[in-house]
């Protein structure tokens, strides 16, 4: 299905106020515990910056969740996107700096010069070579994304885990990760609040400690 033919009237009105090619990211609902069952897969939630990557021909743009242009701030990811073998695409993912222990390091990501070493963990593919994939099942989008990224070291596939949600969450907490995001197989990509995505936060993660300090200091 042609990318430009899939816009609803409300989506078109919203897009008219946003940068060309930007898609409002899907936002998971927050829950106290992850869902269970074979129709859910789970991803580690990184301590990171949410990024939408848009490439159209030779032009690459990186946008924050609020549509701020971060292309110059994350040059390594922008260059990596320009090397992928595609005419056009829109990726959803998280920009991270990976620390020596293999975990993401948010403080390092905030430092000057981090854009030269940051990588993107991509977890969804919304458009590819002119086709809108958002109505496609999650697993179809991810399979296409995996194929697109197989030669890239800067833009990496965010792997999912097919296991019980509580077990994946316990493992994420042991690693010190921010938490997990569970996604329903067969689901479409929906901008804004997306009930097919469920977020569960690790209360002991550094990100949660930062949030608590911010509330205390208000």
User: Each residue of 187-212: pLDDT tens digit?
Assistant: 999 999 999 999 999 988 766 666 65
38 to 35, 49, 123, 168: CA distances (angstroms): 10, 29, 19, 13
CB atoms within 10 A of CB 197: 21
Strands (E), the chain: 26-30, 40-45, 49-56, 59-64, 88-96, 119-128, 131-132, 155-157, 160-161, 179-184, 192-201
d(CA 43, CA 112): 28
79 to 82, 84, 154, 162, 187: CA distances (angstroms): 5, 9, 9, 32, 31
In this structure, is residue 136 part of a structural domain? Answer: yes
d(CA 192, CA 176): 27
d(CA 62, CA 73): 9
- Model pLDDT for residues 49-87, shown as the tens digit of each residue: 999 999 999 999 999 999 999 999 999 999 999 999 999
Work out whether strand 49-56 and strand 179-184 pair parallel, antiparallel, or are unpaired: unpaired
CATH value at residue 121: 3.30.470.30
Yes or no: say if 28 and 191 are a contact pair by the CB < 8 Å rule: no
In this structure, is residue 130 part of a structural domain? Answer: yes
pTM value? 0.86
Catalytic one of 45, 87, 174, 201: 45
In this structure, is residue 4 part of a structural domain? Answer: no
Specify the 3-state DSSP secondary structure of 141. helix
Above 50 in pLDDT, residue 9?
no
Query: Which pLDDT value is given to residue 2?
Result: 54
Q: Give ∠ CA 46-58-118 in degrees, rounded to 5.
A: 25
- Model pLDDT for residues 152-162, shown as the tens digit of each residue: 999 999 999 99
**Of residues 112 and 83, which shows the higher confidence score?**
83
Yes or no: say if 25 and 65 are a contact pair by the CB < 8 Å rule: yes
d(CA 190, CA 192): 6
Per the structure, the count of domains in the chain is 1
> Is 45 among the residues known to form the active site?
yes
Query: Which pLDDT value is given to residue 37?
Result: 95
- Token pair 């991509």: residue: 122
In this structure, is residue 92 part of a structural domain? Answer: yes
Query: Which pLDDT value is given to residue 10?
Result: 45
In this structure, is residue 55 part of a structural domain? Answer: yes
Above 90 in pLDDT, residue 101?
no
Domain extent at residue 126? 23-216
In eight-state DSSP terms, residue 2 is B
Query: Which pLDDT value is given to residue 15?
Result: 52
Burial class (CB in 10 A: 0-12, 13-18, 19+), 206: middle
Above 70 in pLDDT, residue 216?
no
Q: Which range has the worst mean pLDDT, 2-11, 26-35, 119-128, 180-189?
A: 2-11
d(CA 217, CA 211): 10
Query: Which pLDDT value is given to residue 100?
Result: 81
In this structure, is residue 7 part of a structural domain? Answer: no
In this structure, is residue 6 part of a structural domain? Answer: no
């Amino acid at each position: 299905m042609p990318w430009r033919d899939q816009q609803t009237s409300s989506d078109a009105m919203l897009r008219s106020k946003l940068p060309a090619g930007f898609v409002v990211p899907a936002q998971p609902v927050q829950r106290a515990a992850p869902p269970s069952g074979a129709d859910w897969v789970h991803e580690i939630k990184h301590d990171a910056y949410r990024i939408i990557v848009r490439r159209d021909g030779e032009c690459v743009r990186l946008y924050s969740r609020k549509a701020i242009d971060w292309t110059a701030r994350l040059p390594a990811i922008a260059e990596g996107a320009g090397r992928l073998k595609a005419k056009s695409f829109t990726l959803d993912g998280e920009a991270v700096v990976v620390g020596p222990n293999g975990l993401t390091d948010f403080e390092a990501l905030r430092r000057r010069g981090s854009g030269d070493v940051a990588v993107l963990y991509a977890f969804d593919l919304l458009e590819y070579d002119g086709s809108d994939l958002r109505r496609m099942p999650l697993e179809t989008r991810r399979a296409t994304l995996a194929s697109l990224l197989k030669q890239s070291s800067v833009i990496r596939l965010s792997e999912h885990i097919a296991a019980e949600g509580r077990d994946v969450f316990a493992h994420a907490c042991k690693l010190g990760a921010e938490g997990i995001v569970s996604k329903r197989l067969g689901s479409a990509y929906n901008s804004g609040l997306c009930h097919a995505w469920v977020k569960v936060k690790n209360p002991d993660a550094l990100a949660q400690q930062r949030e608590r300090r911010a509330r205390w200091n208000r």
